[in-house]
Homo-oligomer: A and B are copies of this chain.
Amino acid sequence: MPATRPADARTFVKPDAAAALRNAPVFRTADEAVIAKLLERCQTLSCPKGHVLFMQGDLAEWFYIIDSGWVKLFRETLDGDEVVMDVMPRGHIFGETAAFEDGTYSCSAEIVEPAVLLAYPLSVLDLAVRNNGALALAMLRHVSGRSLMQGKEIEHRTAQNAPQRLGCYLLRLCDPEKTGPAVIHLPHDKVMIAARLGMQPETFSRALARLQKDVGLRVRGATVEIGDIGLLTSYTCSACSNAFPCEK
């Protein structure tokens, strides 16, 4: 059982742990035997908001798939400042690369919206990857894809100003096929979005005001009206090496 299993686990509909694995691209074509081994010791966790699942540097024993809720990955500086690395919804997998790094988690993980998680044993995954070339290759593609996204994140945090970073975030919530006006709903409160974008809340507020002025964005609570996706794209993507619609 994961050491981090919260004490106040509640009653819920048990998620399908096999389907969750198969839905993750890295396990889509994995051998049945590998899936069965992972399922043998799989645990379902129900976690309240604010629960810290693990801390950066903890010995990594489990990897997780989110069945519902949201999970934040973050690091904490020695001064106590928090750097948010990602905020992830249903279907996302995390902690799975620790076995190929130094055996510890490279980030801390905290539940930001009440979540049901599936926990699978990392030692089983590690052994399976060592003994199964196809799985090693799938994992290599998976980690390479993540590394590509990190490269993009470094680029954004360097080249885009705050309104552009926020514009980019909003564009990613849009249907990539869409042009003209669009209405989207923010998946988190603004403090969380600011943190995800590496901004202070006051920087976020100024960025939002800037977008309202420059590209006619309208915000009512969690609803955002984009006047013209094309206009927001030229505003945002000029400071990026890709243009919308880009790979997510």
A136 at the interface (CB under 8 A from B): yes
Convert A44-57 into 0s and 1s, putting 1 for each residue whose CB lies closer than 8 angstroms to a CB of B. Answer: 00000000000010
- Selected contact of A239 from candidates B79, B129, B131, B136, CB within 8 Å: B79
A154 at the interface (CB under 8 A from B): yes
Main secondary structure, interface of A, reads helix
Kindly report how many copies of this chain are found in the complex they form together.
2
Q: Are A154 and B153 closer than 8 Å at their CB atoms?
A: yes
Give the contact stretch, choosing among A13-21, A63-71, A137-145, A178-186.
A137-145
A157 at the interface (CB under 8 A from B): yes
A150 at the interface (CB under 8 A from B): yes
Q: A77-B239, A140-B139, A143-B143 are in contact. Are A198 and B100 (CB under 8 A)?
A: no
Q: How far is the CB of A204 from chain B (nearest CB, A)?
A: 14
In the complex, what distance in Å separates the CA atom of A31 from the CA atom of B139? 21
Q: Are B133 and A85 closer than 8 Å at their CB atoms?
A: no
Q: Are B239 and A151 closer than 8 Å at their CB atoms?
A: no
In the complex, what distance in Å separates the CA atom of A64 from the CA atom of B70? 40
In the complex, what distance in Å separates the CA atom of A159 from the CA atom of B78? 11
In the complex, what distance in Å separates the CA atom of A143 from the CA atom of B153? 17
Q: How far is the CB of A171 from chain B (nearest CB, A)?
A: 14
In the complex, what distance in Å separates the CA atom of A110 from the CA atom of B79? 37
Q: Please list the residues of chain A having a beta carbon within 8 angstroms of any beta carbon in chain B.
A: 56, 75-79, 81, 83, 85, 97, 100-101, 106-107, 129-133, 136-137, 139-141, 143-148, 150-151, 153-155, 157-159, 198, 237-241, 243
Q: List 30 A-B contacts (CB under 8 A).
A: A56-B241, A75-B151, A75-B241, A77-B155, A77-B159, A77-B238, A77-B239, A77-B241, A78-B238, A78-B239, A78-B240, A83-B158, A83-B159, A85-B155, A100-B140, A101-B145, A129-B137, A129-B140, A130-B137, A131-B133, A132-B133, A136-B137, A139-B140, A143-B143, A143-B144, A143-B147, A150-B153, A154-B154, A157-B157, A158-B198
